[in-house]
Structure 1
């Protein structure tokens, strides 16, 4: 949340405690996305963009927006996380954040093995980067 607030402020946007948010329980699901959109709209009826913790949650937000007659992206922009294969096949196709899961897994395994062997991990925090995949929901 801190990094988001810093970036938002640098763009002249508000990112204070009034920024509406909703936490969905694990595991994330389409149903939790639908419920999350309803909860956000109850607190902030004028909300015009939602960043979701997963593509499954974003799919639920998209389905609920369509059920409520909210035009995506004209009235509500939606971004997911994970770039699931189904994201490109939705209507509209889901904008998402792609991360390199293989690199994350390889790095984690290497660190665990190093620790199990009693070695110190030279770089315990590693930025693996990301790619924003712009599609039809933004």
Structure 2
């Protein structure tokens, strides 16, 4: 019936949102690590940069949709689902925190120093500063 179909769609949508939110920090961390190490390529904002965004977004969307459908169709148990969500959230948070620490360290390293040796590069300094600001928000 229509009510069952609506309930199925809303249940899948809810589970997709839960799965997406559990790996959102991993998505942001992955984007920022690419921006950290490939800063010159990343700042050009060409078609390949957009392609990376599409691939990352597609992976997260596929994971979220698959997880949502599997949990509603009861392909695996709710306990496995909760462990999967918690693992995704924890791995995402750890990666997010490590990328933030790395960018803070690089930002301090790439600032111009008046005394001593500095690896100052304005593009790299700008990118690490932007990464720190994005991650702190």
TM-score (norm 2): 0.27
**Bigger relative contact order (CA 8 A; separation at least 6):** 2
Larger Rg: 2
The answer to which structure has the higher strand fraction is 1
